[in-house]
Each structure stands twice: as C-alpha cells, then as structure tokens.
C-alpha cells in the first residue's frame, strides 16, 4: 500500500490496509477496497446492525462497535456495487474525445485511471494555452470476443475487473464499456447481458477486398449479386444515386464514376447490409440506458478510400443506422504494439479527408484501432478531427505488464520471452506484424538490468504482443505473472501511468 492516505473518519481504527482513494459513502455505509493477506476485498463498514443489505456477501466481524464486512471480489458483489454507485455503471459517451484501454489481464485499470487523472489535471492547469484542450472520456472495459476466447475471460470478467479497478482508484467520472469487434447477434447478446454500452460491429467477413482489383465482368457480376433486398434498393437506383452526381463535403467535392461506385459497392455492400441487420438487433434488445455503436472496417488488407467511406456512411444512414464512431482502414501500417509505419504527410492528407466526411455525414468520431503506441499520430488525429476521435488500445497494457515483470522477476520474464519466441511463428497468423525472430535477442545473453529495455525493441515487442494468448493459457506462466503483478502492483500502475500519459496527453491537446 502506498502512504498518501486520507481515509474517511471511522476507517482509522479498523486495522485493515486499504486503497487510499477507494472509500466512498452511501446510506451510512462506508465502502472501500482492502488489501488483505488473502487478496483484495471489498469492505463495508457501518454501525452495528445497520448492514442489513443482503446484496453483498462476505465475512462479517465486529470492529470498535461497528460491523465490518469483507467481501471477495465476486461477480455478484461487483453487480451489487454498481447498483450502489452510479459512476461505476457503464454509460454512453457520445461524441466526446475518448480513449479505450483494453486490459487482457484484468489488473491494469488502476494504471489507466491514474493516466486519465493526470491528463485531466494537466489539461485543467494548461487552460488558456495555445493548444485547444479537450476533456477525455474513458473506456476501461474493452475486449473483443476473440481476445476473451484467447484469454479465457467472459464479458462479466472484463466488466467486473474494470469495476474493481475504477473503485480502487476512486474514479467517479464515469466510463463507457466497449464490446469490441462483435460479429454476430450472439456476440451482441452476450455482451449486452454483461452491461456493455458501446458495441463495435466488425463486418469484415462481409467485405470483399478483391473488388479493388477485379476486372470489369467479375465486378459487374458481383454487383448484380449484392444482397439487394437487405440493402433496400436496386442495382439501378444505387447507381443513379451516385454516378455523375457531385457530393459536397465541406470544401471538398466528390464525383463518383461508374467504376468507383461498382468497386465501392462490391467491396462494402455486403458489410453495409450486415451492419444494418446487427444494428436493428441492437435496437430491439438495447439497454434502456442507451447504447452506442461503432463500425470497424479496419481489419482489411487495403485502405478505405474516401469515396468508399462516403459510400459506407451514406448507405448506412439511408438504412437508418446511427453510430458514434467509425474505424476506416487508413493508409500506412497500423501494426500491433509499435509506432505508425508510413509517411506521416500521406497519413495527414488521408486522415483529413476521412475527418471531413465524418463531420459532414455525422458528425461521428473517427476511431483509431490498433492504436497502441502510435505516438506520432495522436496529436494529428485530434487536431484534424477537431476532437471527434476515439483511440483504441489493448495489447500495450499487457506489454507494460511484461516491462514491469522484467524489472522485479527477470527469471520469469526470460521464460516468457523464450516461450514467446517458440510460439511466434504459429501465433502471428491473425495479426498485422512484421517482426523478425532473428532480431529478437536471446534472453540468456542479456543482463537483468537490460531486460526492461527489450520492450523498446520493435521485434521483441511484436513477438511478445501476439503471443499473449499462449502465455495466458499456460497456467505455469500465467499464475506467476498475475501473482507477481499483484505483489508489485504499484510498479505496474506506475509503468502504465507513464505509458498511457504518452497516449492521452496528445489526444487531449496537452503537452
């Protein structure tokens, strides 16, 4: 536990070490998060007899005439705590500048909260400066079904871990919860039941990337075979809506010719129909508190052209779909866990066009997927969108866990790196990475003190990044990793805070 303790009156004498920012009062009960030898516990302290609530289950004892209840961090207790404190319940974030911090271990939220808090403090300090500043909204529960499967977690686990982390750090500013890369109505139902509010639909299975290069007869045949009833139009009407028409977007004008329309429609027509169907499902089962939708077509091989973006947005609107953010595939390479690879000037030009379309046809936010560690583009993205931007990160918090581990358990870090080198060729299959194994140093050749520096090395980062699923489903590694991070939690929060400040400050427009 760290020292900067200022606890609520009444907590002084119960002799339970607690997380100093956690205490919160409700209806005469003090709630707090305790650090006990058996692990973290939710504490409730009240006048004897006043703890009638059956919502929380734990071990009761008497302390100085009061009743103390120490509850394990179960799903039921997390649900009950969200009932008591509205700021722990996921909420829609609207068009505010926002950042999502995926956390595959379920231990990172306190570090994310500290970075968000430091960014807000800096932003408040810097008001009146030359840079436009934006207050950031945060998402702490964020995981795709694919990542949940790979890490053996459920939507409830993802939600609850973020709840405990927010509560531990006393984060009262609210947050969204992103059910990421959903592909089916079953995915939606599963995440809706767990209380998610932000649904990212990934129609990539319905994108036809071959449309970029198909010859004319193939293109025409594919166009004729589009799911017209689901698109609620006809081949001829769709063509008439675009070809030869001038579409004004702010100070730009787009004219779409026959070939451009054919390629855009063939590439994204099926995806548009799929998103519309999943959106209607969301509306029919949606939570009463509201939900928001993101559409991601980032996981395709070729960039989304401006005319294609225009096509997607116009057609989705025509079908009644409403969304808060969209992730096109931008130019350049968004590889996992490393800097943006490509020409920054070309990125700016491309991104500026997407930003103009998003303002004119929404407004909605542009979303940066695979957004971890792309330090050179956050400021550009925030500026060109005028704050209509969402940043999505995930794997980088796992990498920071390994950086922390390298500093306090070099032996375990060496084992994980050796294991990752063996797994890389198999595990990299579904990721955009270009690391070369032979450039990853053999861990036995390095001094302990140099191990954390490996997290600065491109190839090592990617090898460690894409093998997280294998590490986290190998109990011999996972258990020691988790135990070490819990024992050295302040170290982990500290590296996370530093790392995320580098993401969030440019996004918020602070130095």
Kindly list the residues in this chain that would bind Zn ion in the complex (CB under 5 A): 296, 298, 369
Report in angstroms how near the CB of residue 147 gets to Zn ion at its nearest. 11
Is 180 one of the annotated active-site residues of the chain? yes
If the CB atoms of residues 178 and 298 are measured against Zn ion, the closer one turns out to be 298
**Residue among 299, 359, 297 nearest 328 (CA):** 297
Q: How many helices (H) and strands (E) does the chain have?
A: 18, 15
Q: Torsions phi, psi of 75, nearest 5? A: -60, -45
Report in angstroms how near the CB of residue 371 gets to Zn ion at its nearest. 9
If the CB atoms of residues 40 and 181 are measured against Zn ion, the closer one turns out to be 181
In sequence order, what are the residues at sequence separation of 6 or more whose Cβ sits closer than 8 angstroms to the Cβ of residue 125?
none
In what order do the strands lie in the sheet containing 59-63?
Answer: 24-26, 29-36, 39-47, 66-71, 59-63
If the CB atoms of residues 197 and 296 are measured against Zn ion, the closer one turns out to be 296
258-294 burial, b at 16+ Cβ within 10 Å, e below that, comes to: eebbbbbbbbbbbbbbbbbbbbebbeeebeeeebbbb
Question: CA 109, 113, 115, 117: dihedral to nearest 10 degrees?
Answer: 180
Q: Which residue is nearest to Zn ion (CB)?
A: 369
Report in angstroms how near the CB of residue 338 gets to Zn ion at its nearest. 16
Report in angstroms how near the CB of residue 395 gets to Zn ion at its nearest. 11
If the CB atoms of residues 143 and 163 are measured against Zn ion, the closer one turns out to be 143
Catalytic pick among 160, 180, 459, 497: 180
In sequence order, what are the residues at sequence separation of 6 or more whose Cβ sits closer than 8 angstroms to the Cβ of residue 290?
91, 92, 197
If the CB atoms of residues 180 and 208 are measured against Zn ion, the closer one turns out to be 180
Length of the chain: 511
3-state DSSP call for residue 143?
A: strand
Start-to-end Cα distance in the chain: 30
If the CB atoms of residues 298 and 497 are measured against Zn ion, the closer one turns out to be 298
Catalytic pick among 208, 294, 373, 459: 294
- Active site amino acids: 180, 294
């Amino acid at each position: 536990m760290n020292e900067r303790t200022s606890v609520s009156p009444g907590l002084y004498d119960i002799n339970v070490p607690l997380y100093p920012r956690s205490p919160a009062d409700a209806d005469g009960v003090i709630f707090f998060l305790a650090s006990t030898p058996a692990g973290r516990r939710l504490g409730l302290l009240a006048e004897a007899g006043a703890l009638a609530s059956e919502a929380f289950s734990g071990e009761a004892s008497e302390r100085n005439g009061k009743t103390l209840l120490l509850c394990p961090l179960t799903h039921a207790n997390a649900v009950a705590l969200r009932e008591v404190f509205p700021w722990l319940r996921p909420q829609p974030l609207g068009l505010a500048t926002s950042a999502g911090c995926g956390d595959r271990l379920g231990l990172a939220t306190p570090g994310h909260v500290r970075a968000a808090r430091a960014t807000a403090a800096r932003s408040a300090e810097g008001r009146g400066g030359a840079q436009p500043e934006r207050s950031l909204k945060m998402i702490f529960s964020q995981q795709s079904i694919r990542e949940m499967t790979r890490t053996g977690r459920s939507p409830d686990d993802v939600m609850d871990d973020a709840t405990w982390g927010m509560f531990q750090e006393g984060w009262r500013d609210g947050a969204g919860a992103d059910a990421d890369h959903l592909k089916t109505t079953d995915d939606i139902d599963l995440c809706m039941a767990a209380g998610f509010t932000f649904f990212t639909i990934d129609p990539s299975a319905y994108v036809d990337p071959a449309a970029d290069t198909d010859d004319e007869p193939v293109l025409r045949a594919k166009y004729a075979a589009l799911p017209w009833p689901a698109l609620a139009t006809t081949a001829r009407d769709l063509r008439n809506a675009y070809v030869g028409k001038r579409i004004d977007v702010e100070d730009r004008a787009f004219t779409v010719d026959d070939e451009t329309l054919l390629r855009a429609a063939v590439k994204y027509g099926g995806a548009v129909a799929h998103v519309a169907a999943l959106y209607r499902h969301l509306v029919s089962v949606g939570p009463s508190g509201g939900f928001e939708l993101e559409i991601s077509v980032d996981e395709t091989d070729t960039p989304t052209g401006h005319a294609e973006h225009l096509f997607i947005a116009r057609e989705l609107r025509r079908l009644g779909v409403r969304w808060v953010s969209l992730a096109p595939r931008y130019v350049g390479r968004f590889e996992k866990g490393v800097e943006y690879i490509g020409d920054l000037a070309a990125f700016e030009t491309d991104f500026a066009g997407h930003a103009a379309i998003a303002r004119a046809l929404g407004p909605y936010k542009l979303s940066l997927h695979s957004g971890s560690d792309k330090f050179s583009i956050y400021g550009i993205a925030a500026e060109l969108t005028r704050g209509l931007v969402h940043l999505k990160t995930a794997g980088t918090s796992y990498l920071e866990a390994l950086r922390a581990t390298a500093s306090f358990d070099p032996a375990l870090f060496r084992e994980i790196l050796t294991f990752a080198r063996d797994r890389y060729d198999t595990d990299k299959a579904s990721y955009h990475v270009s690391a070369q194994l032979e450039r990853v140093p053999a861990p036995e050749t390095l001094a302990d003190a140099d191990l954390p520096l490996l997290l600065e090395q491109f190839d090592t980062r990617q090898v460690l990044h894409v093998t997280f699923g294998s590490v986290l489903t190998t109990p011999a590694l996972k258990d020691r990793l988790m135990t070490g991070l819990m024992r050295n939690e302040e170290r982990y929060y500290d590296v996370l805070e530093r790392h995320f400040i580098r993401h969030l400050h440019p996004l918020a427009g602070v130095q």
